A and B are shown apart, each in its own frame.
Chain A
Amino acid sequence: MALPWVEKYRPKSLNELISQDSIIETIQRFIKNDQLPHLLFYGPPGTGKTSTILACAKQLYTPTEFNAMVLELNASDDRGIGIVRDQIMSFASTKTIFKKGFKLIILDEADAMTNDAQNALRRILEKFTDNVRFCIICNYLSKIIPAIQSRCTRFRFGPLSDDKMNFRLDHIIQAEKVDITEDGMKAVIHLASGDMRKALNIMQSTHLAFNKVNEENVYNCVGHPSKNDMLSVINWLLNDDFTTIYNRLIHLKTLKGYALQDIMTEVSRFVQMIEFPKKVLIHILEKLSDIEYRLSNGTNEKLQMSSLISTFIMARNMSEFKPKAITA
């Protein structure tokens, strides 16, 4: 079957889910004691929110009951206030004849629902609690109105830890016979930043393009600046003169095709690892965020790059700043 690995290896039962152990325990306890509240899952993408509720639903209902007892609506379905009033309302207010217990309504990607629709929803949440449970899934908690937040039990799905990801990735590496080195694995996990889906995508595309998944190929495939290149960049920024840094950066960018945004993400990471005097650090971080904002507006990358160099030159001229070579 021609499936992307992300779909092929989606966890099918609660046991297969990695990390979020406390959440799974709690939910299992709720289910056992028949005390499941309305749920609100939030957190960054690729951390297992949709998989968790789907696995729960599989546990609660048999495959035949599934369609009658579970209503799944996500951002690709129409979820305006009309649908809330009609479809959701009718699903929530009717009881099924042969099955005792509650129905489940899953609202995936709820941060795309309008405030009006959410407001209409909260009444339903209150009124039909004995008949139906809601599971609301979103990335940004702030997009859910407080009225709904207070009617649900919130669960935060944090970014997955490195060893948990390692564990699951090993399983897939074995199944797909991926030729991966240790530094390749580290690179995949580093670039994924706790997002399982991202990690699988990176691994799959590198595997497809290069067969061997090592550090160089991973960074090449994603177009992310490699560690060595970033070390050189930081060294230049802290030591050389304006024109030299500029010419070198332009050369590097054209050669390797790096996006300025990616370079800046790495620069900000490095900057926090170096021991700058407080004032200098504040200045740099503030300016970095300004540049990032301007880039998002679609400005000329060349000009913003010069402004990045300016930031460091100005930082170097501040107070008693002693430039030194960075090695680690």
Chain B
Amino acid sequence: MSTLPWIEKYRPKTVDDISYQDEIVAVLKKIISNDTGEFPNFLFYGPPGTGKTSTILAAARELFGPELMKSRVLELNSSDERGINVIREKVKTFAQFTPSGHRSDGKSCPPFKIVILDEADSMTSSAQAALRRTMEKESKTTRFCLICNYISRIIEPITSRCSKFRFKPLSKDILIQRLSFIAEKENIACDRDTLVTLVNCSEGDLRKAITYLQCASRLKLESGCIKSSDVLEIAGILKDDVIEKILDTCSTGSFEKVEQCVQNLIFDGFSCNQIVTQLHDVLIERHDLNDAKKAIIFEKIACVDNDLIEGADEYLQLLDLLVLIMKQMK
């Protein structure tokens, strides 16, 4: 039968288990142990896979105990309907029930409820506007915790009503530590090299790293040890020599060759964003390009990255970029 995804299985259960986010853990621990119940509205933001949702869930579990959690915590996220009406109805009704101060296991339970709004940056701005007054009005009995990746997508009036905490991307050591722990528990053979590749591929996102690990282990069932190349293929990352070949083609100065190269890349199905990012990383270290040329190239790379997100055609954008690199390399 279906096993739990490892990201759920190994989610931290207490606030102490959260790795690397020292400031917010300090604040939360104070609040949890503090009986005056001063709990502000929170806004957790930061790159994905750094522990935002896990943190507030762990804090809620510690505050309310596992049984009361269901009645004291309302979790809403983008998969649920979240236009204006949901905010008005669901949140308002939930916020209006007065909670008791007792817990079945005898510990004191703070007299408020928590509404967790996950992926808040995808709420429409009118839904966010409806939220602000609700936050103010129901502040006696309810606290809000908004979670998002980009704080700029949350309207200013809301961010000024919350205590903001940025979740930092996790350091490589923490990631390696956590991954080895999981690999051991799941009986996966995985050498240090592979772990380092995993960490490099995931860029500080623990969820990504664990998912890659799980995927790799699925594809390698009988054959035992997971290799670095497996991880690269799963992550959709191009091998270094492919990138080198692209740059060599650009340096030939032949338009036709560059055109053919782009065509082949598209045929191979690689994600254009991935190609652009990897080109960027390699070009940073190149010494044969002076700063002025680098400046032009990287400006173009940033534009292409944006245009791709806005939906432009991959072939045209990639061709445009490589042609520019070719011009600069002459």
Contact = CB atoms under 8 A, between A and B. Distances in A.
> Touch between A and B in complex, CB under 8 Å?
yes
A304 interface: yes
A76 B137 contact: yes
Contacts of B94: none
Nearest to A317: B292
A324 B162 CA distance: 40
Given A310-B295, A310-B299, A313-B291, A7 B139 contact: yes
B133 interface: yes
Nearest to A2: B37
B253 interface: no
B172 to A, nearest CB: 9
A297 B112 contact: no
Given A2-B38, A109-B129, A299 B136 contact: no
B168 A257 contact: yes
A242 B273 contact: no
Contacts of B306: 293-294, 297, 299
B2 to A, nearest CB: 32
A4 B157 CA distance: 16
B240 interface: no
A205 B27 contact: yes
Interface stretch (B72-80, B226-234, B277-285): B277-285
A301 to B, nearest CB: 8
Interface in B137-173: 137, 139-140, 149-153, 156-157, 159-169, 171
Nearest to A176: B38
B30 A2 contact: no
Given A75-B132, A109-B133, A304-B302, A2 B161 contact: no
A223 interface: yes
Given A208-B27, A294-B302, A139 B295 contact: no
Nearest to B110: A2
Nearest to A257: B168
Interface in A75-131: 75-78, 108-109, 111-112
Given A296-B152, A300-B277, A310-B298, A243 B284 contact: yes
A314 B168 contact: no
Chain A interface size, under 10 / 10 to 19 / 20 to 34 / 35 or more:
35 or more
A248 B163 CA distance: 29
Q: How large is the interface on B (under 10, 10 to 19, 20 to 34, 35 or more residues)?
A: 35 or more
Contacts of B137: 76
A275 to B, nearest CB: 22
A303 to B, nearest CB: 5
Interface stretch (A62-70, A148-156, A194-202): A194-202
A204 interface: yes
B163 A201 contact: yes
A176 to B, nearest CB: 10
A232 interface: no
B305 A303 contact: yes
A295 B303 CA distance: 11
Contacts of A204: 38, 40, 163
A7 B39 CA distance: 12
A141 interface: no
B291 A221 contact: no
B294 interface: yes
A294 B305 contact: yes
A287 B126 CA distance: 30
Interface string B9-24: 0000000000000011
Contacts of A75: 126, 129-130, 132-133
B294 A112 contact: no
A7 B166 CA distance: 24
A253 to B, nearest CB: 9
A313 B290 CA distance: 11
B280 A4 contact: no
Interface string B301-327: 111011001100000000000000000
Interface string B85-110: 00110001000000000000000001
B136 A7 contact: yes
A45 interface: yes
B120 to A, nearest CB: 15
A291 interface: yes
A112 B88 CA distance: 14
Interface in A242-257: 242-243, 246, 254, 256-257
B291 A241 contact: yes
Contact of B291 (A4, A109, A242, A291): A242
Interface of A: 1-4, 6-7, 44-46, 74-78, 108-109, 111-112, 139, 195, 197-198, 201-202, 204-205, 208-210, 220-223, 241-243, 246, 254, 256-257, 259, 261, 287, 291, 293-300, 302-304, 306-307, 309-311, 313-314, 317
6 contacts: A2-B39, A7-B140, A76-B132, A223-B164, A254-B204, A259-B151
| Complex A-B, nearest 5 residue pairs according to Cβ-Cβ distance, in ascending order | A257-B168, A307-B302, A223-B166, A2-B37, A205-B163
Interface of B: 23-24, 26-27, 30-31, 36-41, 46, 87-88, 92, 110-112, 126, 129-134, 136-137, 139-140, 149-153, 156-157, 159-169, 171, 204, 273, 276-277, 280, 284-285, 291-292, 294-296, 298-299, 301-303, 305-306, 309-310
Given A241-B291, A294-B303, 20 more contacts: A3-B139, A7-B136, A7-B139, A74-B133, A108-B133, A201-B40, A201-B161, A201-B163, A205-B40, A205-B165, A208-B27, A209-B27, A223-B165, A254-B171, A254-B204, A257-B167, A257-B168, A294-B305, A297-B309, A303-B302
